[in-house]
Amino acid sequence: MEESAQWIIDSIANDVNSVHVASRLFFVLYSSLMPLRMIAIANQKGGAGKTSTALNLGAALAELGAQVLLVDLDPQCALTASCNLDPYAVNRSTYSILTRDNVSVVSCVRNVARNLHILPGSVDLAAAEVMLTSAPNAPFRLRDAFARSRAPLDYVLFDTPPSLAILTVNALVAAQELLIPVQCQYLSMRGVRALLETVWLIHKNMNPRLDLLGVLATMYREHSDHSRQVVAELRHVFEDKVFEMLIPDDDAVAEAPASKKSVLAYQPNSEAASAFRQLAEVIHHER
């Protein structure tokens, strides 16, 4: 059943105008065998590498055969744009999920590549932050939407905005695990404490299953003493929660979004692509 379903999807996806249909068909036909893992990728500091981590970790997990859904919760919609979708033209998005009760997750999903899908963001996400401040059960909107969904997935990766406002809170309430990317600069570490204080409050009051998956050092410069010092400090504070692999400061990561591809598709043999594949192997084998 699984092989025939994938064949149908791949056949339809060859027609670029039918990618959305292929993605919808996937959710009807595919049957997942592994428990779903929902991972929030968060750091209130901008430029930490949240979006590139979501996209490239998702692509690497998809290469391993996992069914992966990316969820764009950032009003800047960089993840959506990196997946070759126009945030100004998306009809159903995370905004729809957060502000309306009758919109299903499945109806909003678009296909990106084999095994990789996205629940895109749209430019009206900024308005959602204002609307949700007075909405009933505002922190639980995303969690409840996924609870209503029967989408057969292995991973959901939430890309969050650089803030601890309601969109990030929704991701932390919906997720089981938290991945914190930290740019290898001293100031980037300062935002982690505030994030962890918020996480502790959410764990205590709203989502007791939320746990720290790990801290990921990004934009690492091999020959920089400062980069090495930052990694050493992270390991001193977080100990074995810091991933062994370091995401290098690789031009390929910055260039890939312009090609509307992950770095694994853009430069599959780059150092960054290799690092994200190693990260995916570690996370996937924790199942």
Residues 209-224: pLDDT tens digits?
999 999 999 998 888 8
CA distance 29 to 274: 32
Q: What are 168's strand-pairing partners? A: none
Residue written as token pair 């919109």: 103
Cβ-Cβ contacts under 8 Å for 44 (sequence gap 6 or more): 162, 163, 164, 168, 191, 194, 195
Q: Which amino acid is at 20?
A: H
The class of domain 35-284 in CATH terms is: alpha beta
Rg over CA atoms, the chain: 18
pLDDT given for residue 35 in this prediction: 83
pLDDT given for residue 8 in this prediction: 37
User: How much of the chain exceeds pLDDT 70, in percent?
Assistant: 88
pLDDT given for residue 223 in this prediction: 83
pLDDT given for residue 34 in this prediction: 62
pLDDT given for residue 243 in this prediction: 96
Domain parsing of the chain, residue ranges: 1-31, 35-284
CA distance 196 to 198: 5
CA distance 28 to 61: 21
pLDDT given for residue 120 in this prediction: 98
Cβ-Cβ contacts under 8 Å for 246 (sequence gap 6 or more): 184, 217, 218, 220, 231, 275
pLDDT tens digit string along 104-117?
A: 999 999 999 999 99
DSSP 242: B
Global pTM reads 0.87
- Determine how many CB atoms are found less than 10 A away from the CB of residue 229: 12
pLDDT given for residue 27 in this prediction: 47
End-to-end CA distance of the chain: 24
Residues of the chain with pLDDT below 50 are: 1-19, 24, 26-32
